[in-house]
Every structure is written in C-alpha cells, then in structure tokens.
A and B are shown apart, each in its own frame.
Chain A
Amino acid sequence: MAETNTPTEPVRFETHPDRYVHWRLDFPAEHGGKVARLVMDVKEDRGMRPGYPLKLNSYDLGVDIELADALQRIRFEHPEVRALVVTSAKDRIFCSGANIYMLGSSTHGFKVNFCKFTNETRLYLEELSAESGVPSLASLNGTASGGGYELAIACDEIVLADDGSSAVSFPEAPLLAVLPGTGGLTRLVDKRKIRRDLADAFSTIAEGVRGKRSVEWGLVDEAPPKAKLDEVTRRRVEALVGRSKRKAFPAVKLGPLEAQRSASPSGDEQKIEYQYVTLELTPKLRTARLTVRAPSTKQPETPEELAKAGASAWAIQAFRELDDALLELRFNQPLVGVVSVETAGAPEAVLAVDAMLAKHQDDGLVREVTLLMKRVLKRMDLTAKSFFALVTPGSCFVGSLLELGLAADRVYMKDSDDEDVSVATSPMNAGLLPMANGLSRLQTRFLKEPERVARVLEEGALGTRDAVKAGLVTFAPDDLDWDDEIRIAFEERAAMSPDAMTGMEASLRFAGPETMETKIFGRLSAWQNWIFQRPNAVGERGALTLYGKPERPEFNWQRT
C-alpha cells in the first residue's frame, strides 16, 4: 500500500481533557466522583492525518494519545478516583480497533511505533489497576473488534451487551492477514487464561463471538441483555470501588511542558529545550544528544511539600519531559539512530529526591511519582535507538538517573585524573523502578552474579575504576582518548544497519524471566512486525494492501 500519508507534520503528545476530540473523561455523580468514565466517541473526520475517516470508533495515534493523557490525569489530577469504566458513546459499537486504512497508508516505522505506543497505553491501564488501585471495567455497549477488544481485555473486567449482534472479535488474521498485535493474543492466554484451542478458534472467526458463548469461553465476564448493561456496569463498578486500595492524596495538576523548539538555519540541527531536559538532534549524522539535569532548586522533603510543589517538582517535571523527548525520538526522528544519554548537575540533589521518594513509598502521591519514573524508564527500554550513556565530570548518574545509564546499551565513563567522575546508587535502584521483565535494571544486569546487586547498592559513590570493577561501565577511555573514542563509537554505531541494531538491542535488553509484558513486546510485536513486512500482508496482492479494494488477496502458501 502506498506509504504516502505518513506524517510530515511532527506528532505532538501533549494534550488536555479540554482539547480531547475523541474521548470524554467524566466522573458520574452517581458514584460520588469515585469512578472515572472514559467514553470513546471518535470523530470520523478528525484523524491525525487526512485520507482515512475514523469510522465506527476506529482509532489512530491521535485517539490513543488522548487515552494515554487521560490515564495520566486520572493518576495525578483525580486521586479520589477508585475505579475506571471504559465505554463508547456510539450506538451498537464499542470500538473497531486501529483504523485499517491508517495502517495501510503508514510507513513500516510508523506502524511499529504506533503499535508500541498503544501497547504501552494498554499496559498503563493495567498498571493503574495493579499498582495504583484503580481497577477498570470495559462496558461494551456494542461490538469490540480487533484493537477494540484489545482495549477491553486490558481492563480487569469486561461486560458485553447481549443484544443478539454485539460481539467481541479478533478479525485481524482471517480478514487482514496480520495479528491482533496490541497484546490481544498474549492476553487471551496469559491474562484471561483462555484455553489455547478456544483462543485459536476465537482468533480466526472474523465476526467474533457473542452473548452466552463469549462468557463460556471466558472472553468476557458477563453478557447481560442490553437494557441491563448499565445496571450490571454500575454494580460491578461499585464492587471495584469497594476493593480499591488507592491511597488518598491532594490532586496534582499537570500543566503544559512548554518545550522550546529551535533549529539551525540549515535545519541540520534541531534543539528541544525543556526545563530539565534538552534534546539536541543531528539527523544528518543520525545522532542525538539527550541531557537530563538534576534539580537546581530546593526540592520537597516530605509528601506534603511534594503535593504543594505539584507538577513543578523535579521528579514529576523532569520525567514528564524525558517521556516527551523519547516520544519525539520515536515518532519525529526516524533517522536518528544513536543517542548519547547525558546528565548534568549536583548528584546530591538527585539523591535527596530519591531518599524522600524511597522513604515515603506508602504515600499515594509518592507512589504515583515513582510509577511515573518507572513508566518513562520502560519507555526508554523499548525505544528503538542505540543509547550510549556518557558519564563525565559534572554528570550525575546517581540513583534514579543512574537508571538512564543502566537502561542504555553501553556506558562510557571518563577515566580522568584531574576531575571527579562518579556514579552512585540510591534505594531507587533496588527494585522500585523495575523493567518489563519484573526485575530491576541492576538485577537484569547482573543475572550471572546476583550478589553484585546488593554489593553495588551498598557502595557509595564510585569513581571510574571502581565503577568498571563493579560492572557498571562498558568502556572507560581516559582524558586523552575520550573524544576520539566517543566519536568513533558513535560513527561506527550509526553506520550499522538500523534493523539489525533494533533487533539486537531488543534481544539484549531484556535478559531474565518472561512476563506478559515481555511476551507482548518481544514475541507478539516481533511477529507482528515481521508479518507487517511480508508479502501476504503488505505485498502488492497482500490482504492488508487490498483491504477495501476490489481485488482479493493472494497468498504465498509456503509456511516458514
């Protein structure tokens, strides 16, 4: 399919409920404000790009950006919320998934990143329940197909109106020759623990499964008659509210990030400047420089002060900025292949923030801040760029910012005789910021010698040679070699095949146990991305290419 419609306009990820086009976030009075309700009502003609009407509550990236924003705001701005209902304002349709014409007209890279982002958003929905005590319920007032059912299955509970026609379905394989790649297949068997044979049958019936059978197969939890749907939804949501363990805290408003964007006259260099983060881009050289700064002002020392400081607190602001910068790299900087990860500022300032956060983990807001950090760092783990962390004099790879180094593919630390260069751990490195595999980055790093984890955590600041010894550093060029070594390392990396690097990095980053999350990104997404390249889906006669066209697909029948 022609890839002519891939955005030329850069994608922006900041939005606000006042500006939502496709979702309505409200808090029904009948639940006394304890329930947030997300109502999907996609505006057909307001797709992010022209060329594909978003019919039947189908979504594109713009729709999902609003969903992700809503979840973030429920976390910070609505601490009173104890359960979430996801539903649709459309009659007889809940959501029909990612828009096929949008996918068909997107570049491979955009498709991959779109799926990654939507996958992350659905995992955030699950994290909201598991970690923040806001369980969710999908109230399906109509058919949920493809990504629509994948959204539902990311909720804790699903109720489906039994009106004789509303169904849940995964029509991707039979209709489009691709996969339900937003976690759907994995969640069928790993989350809802549906028998593999039933999951197999379900995933090949284009029209899906309705009513009683959908309950029997475990695809939904209850299928009441349509007239009873609201009542059942209410009853179940009240039960969810009852089991919520959410801790109260004062609401924190998330203001705009106010990034300053600039470019050199030639356009060869671009710069995005946030308060604590700077992203410098040189697409021509396929490199970028991502710098995160330590706080320079006094930071909250108690949860009360944190609530008072709100979103301007470094721990919130810096990580929101980092998140935005990572998404910028993913979506708007396809040519950038190698990113230097740098930090600057006073290590003790970061360690003080970490100490406060670690000490008050029981506090609701502190918990949310920690989870925010965790999500952003995971986003970095899953970003298909080569990250080289550069530890130099003046940098502050300590505690939560050390995680940036641990998330990087390599760590270069300057071995300087004249200046202090150090790294240090904090309690934040001891498991509060786990990766998708459920382990901390230190644990993942030291799978062979797990005892090293405790040892590193007990150490104070480590100079270059100790850090090398401790296993935290890849290479430690000295003052004289540094510039050249780094230049060569970047040039060499930027010259390698981007596909090979993406696959290699994704394979090396997630050592250790499998979780549902690693299966989604490591298996389902990988297969999907392979299928997305195969002629049976996207070739001239492929099913995705020909969807909606008068011709029928033709398959190459050879199985691999």
Chain B
Amino acid sequence: MSTVVNDTKIPNNVDLSSDKRLQRALEAWQPNFLSWWNEMGPFGFQKDDVFLRTAVSVTSEGWANFDYVKMPDYRWGIFLADPVPDRKIGFGDHMGEPAWKEVPGEHRNALRRIIVTQGDTEPASVEQQRMLGHSCPSVYDLRNLFQVNVEEGRHLWAMVYLLHTYFGRDGREEAEALLQRRSGDPDKPRILGAFNEPCTDWLSFFMFTFFTDRDGKFQLLALAESAFDPLSRTTRFMLTEEAHHMFVGETGVLRVVDRTAQQMAEKKLDHVDQVRAAGLIDLPTMQKYLNLWYSLSLDLFGGEISSNAATYFATGMKGRAKEDQFEDHKALDSSYAMDVVKDGKIVREDVALRNAMNEVLRDAYVDDCQRGVDKWNRTIAAHGIPFTLKLPSRRFHRHIGIYSGVHFDPAGNLLTAEQWEAKKDEWLPSDADNEYVQSDAEARLRSEADGQLDRRAEAGHQGPRRRFEIAPPRSVTRRPAALAEPAVAARGASGATSAAGRASVARRTAPRARLDDRASERW
C-alpha cells in the first residue's frame, strides 16, 4: 500500500488495506484533497498545533481521540457505523426486502446525485468559514471552529468513500468535482444556495451551525434510513459528529443572547442605540440574523411538492427522519395538507404524502429549531428582558419551492414586491447591520494577514510554538447542560489566561493583535 493511503494515515473500518480499488481512487484523490484543504481550509492556521478530536475507530474509545495536530496532518478517516444484521428496507415500495449492499443500477444516478449533493455541503462550509479564525472571540471558539472544520472535512471523506467504492469512474469524477466547486464563486458555485452565502462573522457562524448544520442533521437522519446500506451506515456515524456542530451554534447564540440580556438588565439599556453603544449585539439584530439563516436553511430541504422526494421515498433511497416512529411506512394513500399560494391567496391543499416528504422532513427540523430558540428565550426572560426571539413563518424569504418568487412577512402574510422592498431591512440584516456586526473586521483581517507573514517567518526559525486547547466536553454524545463554564485550559507558550474579550462574543471587543493574547477566556 502506498505511503499516502494506508490504515495508519487513514483510520478506517472499511478494510482499506485490502481494497485495491479504493486505494487507487484515494491515491489520486487524497493529494488533491490536501491541496484543497491548504488552499481553502482555515486561513492562517495550517501550521499551528490544534487540540482536536480524531475518530480512529467506531468503538466508544476510538471515535473521540484527542491530541495536538496540525490541521493538514489531521487523520481524516473513513468510518461506517456497525452493520445491523439482516437489515431490511424500512419504507417505500421495497419495504421488507433486504437492504442493498450494492447500488442497484436502476438507482445509480439518483443515488449518486443524493450523495454528491450531501457531499458538496461539507467542503462548502469549510470554505465559508475559512476566515473566521481571525476574528474569533476566544480560543474556545477557535478550537470549536477548527473541530467543526476538520469534521466537515471528514464528512467529505465519508461521501467520497461512497462515490469511490460504489460509483466507478463517474464516482471518481464527482469526487474530484467536489474539490473544484467553490462556495460563493459564481463560476463554480456550490450546489445549494445557503452554502454560497458569505459567513464572515461569528454571529453568522453560530447561526449557521445552529440552523444550517441542523439541516445537515435531518438530511443525515433521512439518509440513515436509506435502503442503500453503505449510505445508511456512513450517515449514522456522521450523525455522532454533527451533534457537536449544533452544540457550537446553540451555545454560541446563547452566549451572545445571554450577554446582551444580562448587560441590558444590569445597565438598564433599552434602546438599540444604547445596546450597541455598549458594544453588544442588540436583540432585534439577533432576530434578523436568525430570520436570514433560518430561511436560507429551510430552502435546503427542497421544494414542498417534489417528484424527486416522492421517487426517493418510493424507491427506498431516502426516508424520513426516524422512520420507525411513523406508522405507515408506505405513505402511499395518505396526503399532507399544505398551504399553497393560488391567485394571490394562501389556500390549503392536499398533496400526496410522498410528494410532500421534503416538507415532512422540514416539519421535524422546524420543531427541533424551536426547541433551541425556546432555550434562548428562557435566558432572555431570566434577565427580565421583555423580548422574544421567533422563528419566522416558513414562507418568509424563500428562494426554493412554492413560496419562492412571492413575498411574505415573518408572520407569513403575503406582501407585494413594493411592501417587501420597503420593509425587508426590518426583517433581514441590512448593510448597516452587517457593517455593525463585522465592524472593523477588515482591518482586523488585514492585521492578521500581516501577522501571518510574521508567523511564517517565525515558523522557519524556532519561534514559540502556539498550541491551543480546550478540554473536551465531558460527554459529547450528550449535550452538556452547563454551558456557562466550558472547561477551558491552555498550555504551551501562550498559557496566560486573559480576561480580555469577555464583553461580547460577536462584537469581538477582544484584543486582536496576537493570537497568543487571546489564548483563553471564560464566560
């Protein structure tokens, strides 16, 4: 086996060492992946040692190994959850038949499309977030960011494994194309809209990990039901990692909300200007960011009425999240009552359930989002601030599906184009809001880029090595209840604890001159 592709370099439970075809495919792909990572991965941190979780096996000991690693040396592995003996297809026309170990020719193209679409989101998010390290509010966040990034990289590997193993030459070409598209590049955009949106500030990052990664969770849950067993096993394992990403988003937003509400209460701030003057993100702005990322993420589920969704379900390629919780796994004779726009009015229509599968999945997603928003609201309320964050109507600000091309307010009422134009800045981040949230981010980035040059020079000599770490949460499978005190520690040359940057997360009043200076913070 080559030096690039072996069981040590690439931890796996797919018997890579005896799979010649996979070895050959990965030998060609892996160097390109590394080039992509170096070009598009976290900017300016590729030479740093970062304390990261690496999965080296699927056992309870193996899936979360923590150690210092330079990100380009991260051991991206290939893992499938353990097989379920005699697994049967759990829904659709083939229900009860044995799950597919190989791709049925009939569904080859559609399955490949599903996998490519999922796979495309993984590198896309890394690209979207590549500059965030330079404006991060704390080393805790920095480490979380990188953990999310390397795991998105691993999820790319997971999808590429499927493409390489089951889809022949086409699969190899698609795997290559996953490294060629670029988030936000009009020439080579990523496949899905939300993954081409800029994510250049930490508020957006937290919203992204809360809302957009949560779409990922539900897509993976639906794919975990797939009749194509390798896809099911791969996605089941990915779900264990996805939980942390959403934890980052949920707690990230929570910290911002908490800080703002707490300061508002303490300093008796009630006007937005006062809140901003105190260097905080005001709650109405939070609502706007929520509106934006929630609506962009809703689009990711696809059209409300979809023949593809019906086909995917009928054939067994993609089920519903937690399919076993439903009673009727054929979903052939039921319908789904959906609000559709007809002649300028919203009317309720019955849609064949299979054609409404995207909406069924979206329902589960909306409920899950609401649970997180409720937590944020409890925190605001605990400070006695009379403000409630709300998920807007799912008709609001949509670009895909039956509500696209029509305008709605956050309550879901129809608007004319003029009404929308007049009001949209009240509902979505305006240029001024973006500017406020990102204030002097550019200057910061520039200074970081300068710093980067310094550090490169440093790296060639024996400059101090900077290492960042955050002790792993006590249990990552279970969401820690106590968010206020993430255990933060630092070691190495930059071990000094700093109180700087405590004021606010996204406002980033943290000093930014040197990474060393913001080695550790607490909230």
Give the interface of A toward B (CB within 8 A).
Answer: 44, 162-165, 174, 205-207, 225-228, 547-552
A206 lies within 8 A of B310 (CB): no
Q: Is the CB of B186 within 8 A of A207?
A: no
- Which residues from 181 to 231 on chain B have a C-beta closer than 8 Å to any C-beta of chain A? 181, 186-189, 191
Q: A44-B405, A205-B109 are in contact. Are A550 and B177 (CB under 8 A)?
A: no
Query: Given A44-B405, A164-B180, A206-B109, are A549 and B352 also a contact pair (CB < 8 Å)?
Result: yes
A551→B314 contact, CB < 8 A:
yes
Contact of A174 among B109, B180, B315 (CB under 8 A): B109
Q: Are the CB atoms of B187 and A550 closer together than 8 Å?
A: no
Is B93 close to A, CB under 8 A? yes
Residues 105-119 of B, flagged 1 when their CB comes within 8 A of A and 0 if not, give 000011001000000
Assembly CA distance A165 to B355 (angstroms): 24
The answer to whether the Cβ of B416 comes within 8 Å of any Cβ in the partner chain is: no
CA of A228 to CA of B186 in the docked complex: distance in angstroms?
11
- Beyond A164-B177, A206-B109, A207-B113, whether A550 also contacts B186 by CB under 8 A is no
Which one of B110, B113, B187, B311 has the greatest number of beta carbons of chain A within 10 Å? B187
* B354 near A550: Cβ-Cβ < 8 Å: yes
B353 located at the interface, meaning its Cβ lies under 8 Å from any Cβ of chain A in the complex: yes
Nearest residue, chain A, Cβ from B190 = A164
Q: How far apart are the CA atoms of A520 and B405 in the complex, in Å? A: 38
Instruction: Kindly state the separation between the CA atoms of A102 and B193 in the bound complex, as whole angstroms.
Output: 29
Per the 8 Å Cβ criterion, residues 268-319 of B in contact with A are: 307, 310-311, 313-315
* Given A174-B109, A226-B186, A548-B355, 19 extra CB contacts under 8 A: A163-B188, A163-B189, A164-B177, A164-B181, A165-B181, A165-B191, A225-B188, A226-B188, A227-B187, A228-B187, A547-B307, A549-B307, A549-B310, A549-B355, A550-B332, A550-B352, A550-B353, A550-B354, A552-B311
Which A residues touch B353, using CB under 8 A?
550
CB pairs A–B below 8 angstroms (5 shown): A226-B188, A548-B355, A550-B332, A550-B355, A552-B311
B113 partner residues in chain A, CB cutoff 8 A: 207
A228, B188: Cα distance in complex, Å:
12
Whole-angstrom distance between the alpha carbons of A44 and B303 in the complex?
15
Which residues of A lie under 8 Å from residue B187 when comparing CB positions? 162-163, 225-228
Contacts of B93 in A (CB 8 A): 552
Minimal Cβ-Cβ distance residue in A for B92: A552
The verdict on B248 contacting chain A, using a C-beta distance below 8 Å, is: no
Q: Which residues of B contact A227 (CB under 8 A)?
A: 186-187
- Whether a CB of chain A sits under 8 angstroms from the CB of B331 is yes
Residue of A228, A550, A551 contacting most chain B CB atoms (<10 Å): A550
List residues 350-384 of chain B with CB under 8 A from any CB of chain A.
352-355
Top 7 A-B pairs ranked by shortest CB distance?
A: A550-B354, A548-B307, A225-B187, A550-B352, A164-B181, A226-B187, A552-B314
B-side contacts of A547, CB under 8 Å: 307
**A472 CB, nearest partner CB in chain B, Å:** 55
A205–B112 alpha-carbon span in the complex (Å): 12
Question: Nearest CB to that of A552 among chain B residues?
Answer: B314
In the bound complex, residues from chain B placing their C-beta under 8 Å from that of A226 are 186-188
Pick from A164, A207, A228: contact of B189, CB below 8 A: A164
Check if B189 sits within 8 Å of A165, measured CB to CB.
yes
Instruction: Specify which chain B residues have a CB less than 8 angstroms from the CB of A550 in the assembled complex.
Output: 310, 313-314, 331-332, 352-355
In the bound complex, CA of A547 to CA of B352 (Å):
13
Map CB proximity to A onto B412-454 as digits: 1 under 8 Å, 0 otherwise.
0000000000000000000000000000000000000000000
Report A87 CB to chain B, min CB distance, Å: 16
Main secondary structure of the interface of A (DSSP, over half): loop
Interface code B397-413, partner A: CB below 8 Å = 1, 0 otherwise?
00000000100000000
CA distance A551 to B311 in the complex (A): 8
Per-residue 0/1 for B79-118: is the Cβ within 8 Å of any A Cβ (1 yes, 0 no)? Answer: 0000000000000010000000000000001100100000
Q: Which residue of A lies closest to B306 (CB)?
A: A548
A225 to B314, CA, bound (A): 37
Residues of A within 8 A of B315 (CB): 552
A225–B354 Cα gap in the complex (Å)? Answer: 37
A165 to B182 alpha-carbon distance, docked (Å): 12
The residue of chain B having its C-beta at the shortest distance from the C-beta of A548 within the complex is B307
Chain A residues contacting B314 (CB-CB under 8 Å) are 550-552
Contacts of A205 in B (CB 8 A): 109
Q: Which residue in chain B gives the minimum CB-CB distance to A210?
A: B177
**In the complex, which residue of chain B has the Cβ closest to the Cβ of A226?**
B187
Are B352 and A207 closer than 8 Å at their CB atoms? no
Considering the chains assembled together, what is the distance between the CA atoms of A551 and B186 in angstroms?
A: 37
Q: Which residue of B lies closest to A174 (CB)?
A: B109
> Measured between alpha carbons, how far is A549 from B308 in the docked complex, in Å?
10
Chain B proximity of A275: nearest CB distance (Å): 40
Whether B109 and A207, one on each chain, are in contact in the complex, defined by CB atoms closer than 8 angstroms, is yes
Nearest A residue to B303 via CB reads A55
Q: How far is the CA of A552 from the CA of B107 in the complex (A)?
A: 12
- For residue A100, give the distance in angstroms from its CB to the closest CB of chain B: 9
B309 nearest CB neighbor, chain A only: A550
Minimum CB–CB distance from B193 to chain A (whole Å) comes to: 10
A162 surroundings in chain B (CB, below 8 A) = 187
Q: Which residues of B contact A551 (CB under 8 A)?
A: 314, 332
Q: What CA separation (Å) do A206 and B177 show in the bound complex?
A: 18
**Bound Cα distance from A551 to B355, whole angstroms:** 10
The smallest beta-carbon distance between A68 and chain B, in angstroms, is 27
Q: Closest approach, in angstroms, between the C-beta of A534 and any C-beta of chain B?
A: 20
Nearest B residue (CB) for A101: B307
Chain A, residue nearest B181 (CB): A164
Residues from chain A with a CB closer than 8 A to the CB of B354 are 550
- Chain A: CB-nearest residue to B334: A550
CA distance A436 to B112 in the complex (A): 43
Chain B 147-189 interface mask (CB, 8 Å, partner A; 1/0) = 0000000000000000000000000000001001100001111
B188 adjacent to A164 (CB under 8 Å): yes
Smallest CB-CB separation from A227: which chain B residue? Answer: B187
CA distance A226 to B182 in the complex (A): 13
Query: Chain A: which residue is nearest B188 at the CB level?
Result: A164
Residue numbers in B under 8 Å from A225 (CB-CB):
187-188
In the complex, what distance in Å separates the CA atom of A30 from the CA atom of B310?
A: 47
Chain B residues, CB < 8 A from A174: 109
Contacting residues, chain A, for B307 (C-beta < 8 A): 547-549
Chain A residues near B109 (CB-CB < 8 A): 174, 205-207
How far does the alpha carbon of A205 sit from the alpha carbon of B332 in the complex, in Å? Answer: 28
Residue of A nearest to B310 (CB): A550
Q: How many Å lie between the Cα of A33 and that of B186 in the bound state?
A: 29
Binary per-residue interface labels of chain B (465-489) against chain A in the complex, 1 for a CB within 8 Å, 0 otherwise: 0000000000000000000000000
For B405, list chain A residues within 8 Å (CB). Answer: 44
Neighbour of A548 across the interface among B110, B186, B189, B310, CB < 8 A: B310
| Smallest beta-carbon distance B97→chain A, Å | 14
Inter-chain CA distance A555–B354, complex, in Å, is 21
Q: How far is the CA of A194 from the CA of B291 in the complex (A)?
A: 50
User: CA separation between A227 and B187, bound complex, in Å?
Assistant: 6
Query: How long is the Cα–Cα vector from A163 to B353 in the complex, in angstroms?
Result: 34
Identify the closest chain B residue to A206 (Cβ): B109
Per the bound structure, the CA–CA distance linking A549 and B93 in Å amounts to: 13
Query: Which residues of chain A are near B186, meaning CB under 8 Å?
Result: 163, 226-227
- Nearest Cβ in chain B — how far from A97, in angstroms? 15
Given the complex, which residues of A lie within 8 Å of B332, measured CB to CB? 550-551
CB closest residue in chain A, given B351: A550
How distant is A248 from chain B, measured CB to nearest CB, in Å?
Answer: 40
Which residues in B have their C-beta under 8 angstroms from that of A207?
A: 109, 113
Whole-angstrom distance between the alpha carbons of A73 and B128 in the complex?
48
Using Cβ atoms and an 8 Å threshold, which residues of chain B touch A206? 109-110
Complex CA gap A174/B310 in Å reads 16
A162 to B187, CA, bound (A): 7
User: Complex Cα distance A207/B191, Å?
Assistant: 14
